[in-house]
Amino acid sequence: MTDPLAPLAASPDHYALFLDIDGCLIDLAPTPDGIVVPDGLPETLARLSGRMGGALALVTGRKTEWVDATFGRAFPMAGLHGFERRRADGSVQEVPVPPGLDLARDRLARFAHEPGLVLEDKGIAVAVHYRQAPARRAEVEQAMAALAAEIGPAWELQSGKSVVELRPAGASKGAAVRAFLQEEPFRGRIPVTIGDDVTDETMFPVANAMGGLSIRIADPSEPTEARAHLPSPAALRACLERIAAWAA
């Protein structure tokens, strides 16, 4: 298999790396809390970040606190699909939360009691997962669409892998990557964006437009703006470990 990260491995000082988490760095699990962080992954990312002058950020649908606790480190990151952003210097981009969250929580707490559904409360976003009840997909999509219509245009739906989420409107992973690229230590570097899902599709054109690398962890037959593929999170981790090890 050709290594799509070979250019980064050859010149880590020239690149900025933006990594999705679920389904990309980490294998998918039946529930949001069921994931397993492979031994050594946070250390590999830290070594790689060091080799890249700190120009490595996590860009995820998860909330920042969850990522910090799960990885045991505070990487630069964009959480909640770009809504939260912590810069490399540790400062946080504050964004006002629109009204309506209590209403959404109240409605979904009752709805997600249905067997097989999992409610994930992310503080300023709420998600309903149906991975364990795939037959309920249409029901979940309808309930979330009705809630989005009720709560108003300051909120929007984000679909993902066996999940529908209600989150504040206006943010995207692509916008978060563009914002990082205005700042040290990302500024002036060539972006590398890696993800596995629809929400990551907003990052890929940013990299493509700047002569960077866009990589989707997926079957290559799936439609995507990404220009390269890797078959699995394990394959990505192996590439990252190789690059990080060269720094040792």
Ligand X SMILES: O=P(O)(O)OC[C@H]1O[C@H](O[C@H]2O[C@H](CO)[C@@H](O)[C@H](O)[C@H]2O)[C@H](O)[C@@H](O)[C@@H]1O
- Distances, alpha carbon 39 to alpha carbons 5, 93, 238, in Å: 22, 31, 13
- Which range in 5-13, 163-171, 194-202, 237-245 contacts Mg ion by CB under 5 A? 194-202
Residue 27 falls in the annotated catalytic set: no
Closest alpha carbon to 24 in 41, 12, 9: 41
Given the DSSP bridges, would you call strands 228-230 and 155-160 parallel, antiparallel or unpaired?
A: unpaired
Site for ligand X contains 86 (CB under 6 A): no
Which one of residues 60, 64, 172, 193 is an interface residue with ligand X (CB under 6 A)? 60
**203 CB neighbour count, 10 Å cutoff:** 31
> Which three-class secondary structure state does DSSP give residue 161?
coil
Residues in Cβ contact with 138 at an 8 Å cutoff, skipping those fewer than 6 apart: none
Site for ligand X contains 32 (CB under 6 A): yes
**Cβ atoms of residues 20 and 196 within 8 Å:** yes
Which one of residues 8, 22, 168, 206 is an interface residue with ligand X (CB under 6 A)? 22
Site for Mg ion contains 197 (CB under 5 A): yes
**39 CB neighbour count, 10 Å cutoff:** 8
Using CB atoms, what's the residue nearest to ligand X? 61
Q: Tell me the number of residues near ligand X by CB under 6 A.
A: 25
Using the structure block, give the residue that is written with the tokens 């394990």: 234
110: tokens are 């009752």
Which one of residues 17, 57, 108, 127 is an interface residue with ligand X (CB under 6 A)? 127
Closest alpha carbon to 75 in 111, 39, 50: 50
Which one of residues 3, 7, 9, 35 is an interface residue with ligand X (CB under 6 A)? 35
Q: What residue 189 binds from Mg ion, ligand X, none (CB within 5 to 8 A, per partner kind)?
A: none
Burial code of 76-104, b = ≥16 C-beta within 10 A, e = fewer?
bbbbbbbbbbbbbeeeeeeeeeeebbeeb
- Which range in 83-91, 117-125, 162-170, 195-203 contacts Mg ion by CB under 5 A? 195-203
Which one of residues 49, 193, 199, 202 is an interface residue with ligand X (CB under 6 A)? 199
Q: Which candidate in 20, 22, 197, 200 is catalytic?
A: 20
Site for ligand X contains 41 (CB under 6 A): no
Which one of residues 107, 129, 216, 237 is an interface residue with ligand X (CB under 6 A)? 129
We find the least distance from the C-beta atom of residue 199 to Mg ion, in angstroms, to be 7
Site for Mg ion contains 201 (CB under 5 A): no
Catalytic residues: 20
Name the site residues for ligand X (rule: CB under 6 A). Answer: 20-24, 28-32, 35, 60-62, 120, 122, 127, 129, 131, 160-163, 197, 199
